[in-house]
Structure 1
């Protein structure tokens, strides 16, 4: 089955490029279109209604670019809006949720930490998932201002280091052995997080699982790009330099108001 149309991805900003990289590494022949709604970041502090409206707007943008499927590369948008997106649009959606299951199932201390946005931790979908693991102690922490600092290019700032220490120390004190990163921006912070956490604590994000699910949907329902032309387009409605710097790829970033 062949489908030359691109995979569409959107996030509240540049964080979803961590998901894009996993998909691109697994499926290098696929065309992609990435949408960074950085003007409205972070989504985690917005109401459910605002998040749904922004997610619909982003989806319409990608569908107008002929996307064959949509990857909601944002935990907050997934946990708050994916149900509405699937009801409104006749196209496959893949969401991203905190990887609670592998952390809880493999934890030796029966204690795991989750660093996520307020919007994700307060969502109905997230709390339904948490209820399935009542034998595990789950320490939740809102990553206030982390997305904002990443979007502003202040990933290695002193303020970032201080915030991470403040958020992670209670988890360390509680003897977690897994830290779940519940926001697609946070994998970019793994080098700093590793300096703070004890060596035995494993860090989990959802990127690889999302890439494998994307591959599965392409194989079963949509079709792969078998053409010779490969394009990877990146759109942002904010400063394109921030997105360019984090990509590590020589792809053009198109600044466009949407």
Structure 2
């Protein structure tokens, strides 16, 4: 089992921001990445639809022999991971917006959260938010349209700039000093956000924490790959393979999979 791959799935290409962190921390681990781009974004779907898609993705990765599954999608985590953990024996790692470090470190007592509707309206998100947001102004913003544009490869487009300008406005008016990215697609917007935000505002995403948690869970279950041979990293999408390939800087082949 130690040499079996880590499975990673997302509603599209965004979860590659999580894959990059895992691959950087655990370069010996074999991985299979599954981009369900044909059904992106998950954030606008109902809870049952998100659960059904998450089950479909999970069962494919288990069929491929994955020893651990990373749900590299905030919406899928907040809506489906408890059910996945109940129904499958493989360990799961989930993604949640990193509210805690922002809340604990904010000096202005105001933080912004940019996420999908599916994440912001979920019970898990609201439970986490209420734990850490006492005495804070939390400006929640649905990033409507951003995932679709990123999936189309339009990360640096004028459309994205216009949406971000609109979404950041209430946060800047509230004098936030932390911006929490609550969708794994959004780290690809960090270069743009750094241009648009005042220098004192810190941007937080979950990638590094997820990679560390992945390592910890592998160690706990004695599943860490101790071999030093070059890892095999496989990427599948049911969308346009060229867009996923481009986001990976053309370093890997991407296969189209009708799933």
Tell me, yes or no, whether TM beats 0.5. Answer: yes
**Which residues of 2 match residues 216-235 of structure 1 at below 5 A?**
216-227=216-227, 228-235=229-236
| Aligned position for 1:191 | 191
5+ residue gaps, structure 1: none
TM-score by length of 2: 0.98
Contact in 2 for aligned 1:68/1:222 (Cα 8 Å): no
Q: Could you tell me how far 1:226 is from its partner in structure 2?
A: 2.5
TM-score by length of 1: 0.98
Contact in 2 for aligned 1:235/1:254 (Cα 8 Å): yes
| Aligned position for 2:251 | 250
Partner Cα distance (2:171, 2:124) in 1: 23
5+ residue gaps, structure 2: none
Aligned length: 257
**Which residues of 2 match residues 97-176 of structure 1 at below 5 A?**
97-132=96-131, 133-176=133-176
Partner Cα distance (1:235, 1:253) in 2: 6
Contact in 2 for aligned 1:22/1:207 (Cα 8 Å): yes
Q: Could you tell me how far 1:157 is from its partner in structure 2?
A: 1.1
Contact in 1 for aligned 2:18/2:207 (Cα 8 Å): yes
| Aligned position for 2:70 | 71
| Aligned position for 1:239 | 240
The runs of at least 4 consecutive aligned structure 1 residues that moved more than 4 Å come to none
CA RMSD of aligned residues (A): 0.9
| Aligned position for 2:41 | 42
